[in-house]
Structure 1
């Protein structure tokens, strides 16, 4: 858990290592998810490289300034990051769930 004012990007590396992922059959829990779906806050090159090195697939949209910087570099800018809109739309279900959970938080008593 981090304070509300901290950027979520600082949790991008330790989070996949701490969330247990159940196996389809028997066996101990895995510590590496198959795929990560994240928003633009996690679109840094460092985040993508980290996920690639660990063999974790990812669907993260690129920020507009990152796209422009890549285009400005021409042939040295590299290729665009892969992005699947259909997979990214599944993220909406999780976001709505969080909003529902936040809606049912106990309210502080009035003063």
Structure 2
């Protein structure tokens, strides 16, 4: 579950990720020592005898998640808010705020 970037409502995402990684035993290996297809990813060097599967899973899931999740009705809510603002619901408050700022500016010029 992630938060919608527009409405902050929870958005449920279903991920189906296939993980495919290649590793090479030993220290850093020079690129020209390994035959790899230019289309394939370079193998990662495996340090030590341990492979952290949790780190690999977290990296792949982070890449698979939508960075800007949106709720199904986010666009409708945005349009409703725009209509309310353009219809005059927020215009009086905005005018009075700018009128107050203009009055403060004018007071500063007069002194």
Smaller-chain TM-score bracket: under 0.3
TM-score, normalised to structure 1's length?
0.22
Bigger radius of gyration: 2
TM-score, normalised to structure 2's length?
0.22
